[in-house]
Structure 1
Amino acid sequence: MNLKYKVTFSSEAEKNLMKIDRVTARRIFISLEELSNDPFNNPNTKKMKGKEGIIYRLRVGNYRIVYEVLNNELIIFVVRIGPRGDIYK
């Protein structure tokens, strides 16, 4: 049986998402829905090393979604969403 991960957002990620145009936001939601089936096996996902542990980034066009996977709870926690140039600052 394949378990689906639940996607949750930090308050910063929610604010970031509200600033994005509807078409791009829809693409992001579709990508996150696909990611919830398997957060590790996506060609647009890359593992990043962070201060808080291991985090991942998902590329959706010119936008990046930075997230953490909480395997014990089957949760994908979206930390930040933003344009490629701003997300890593």
Structure 2
Amino acid sequence: MAQAGQGGFLALGRSEKGFEVRIDPDAQKELRRLPPPMRERVVKAIDALKDNPFGGKDIRKLRGELTGLYRLRVGNYRVVYRIVEEQRLVIVEAVGTRGEVC
């Protein structure tokens, strides 16, 4: 169940042996702007990061200025996030189209 957390982050919880997922307040606003069917797809994809945030056919590790971030592709939308391994934490930084986020 999603709940507001520290600093306005939305916490999606943690899978049994996986990662906790938190969504930055700015990314929450971006999510709310999506059309409802796409928002549902994006939230489902974000929720799946609890089990494996490192890889998959739609996940890429970013380079250059964006080193340390990952990009998840959901249709025409992108989810940019970082992983804090020591805390088993995924923080969603941005949600938007390719031109908006990366």
Q: Same fold (TM over 0.5)?
A: yes
Please give the range of the TM-score, normalised by the shorter of the 2 chains.
0.7 to 0.9
The percentage of aligned residue pairs carrying the same residue is: 29
Aligned length: 87
Moved more, 75-84 or 32-41: 32-41
The reply to whether residue 55 of structure 1 matches residue 73 of structure 2 is no
Q: Which has the higher contact order (CA 8 A, sep 6+)?
A: 1
Determine the structure 2 residue equivalent to 1:8: 22
Write the distance in 2 (CA, Å) between the matches of 1:51 and 1:33: 26
Moved over 6 A (4+): none
CA RMSD of aligned residues (A): 1.6
Give CA-to-partner distance per residue, 1:23-80, whole Å, 9 cap, x none.
1111011111222101112110000135475100000000000000011111110000
Write the distance in 1 (CA, Å) between the matches of 2:89 and 2:36: 25
Determine the structure 2 residue equivalent to 1:33: 47
Q: TM-score, normalised by structure 2?
A: 0.77
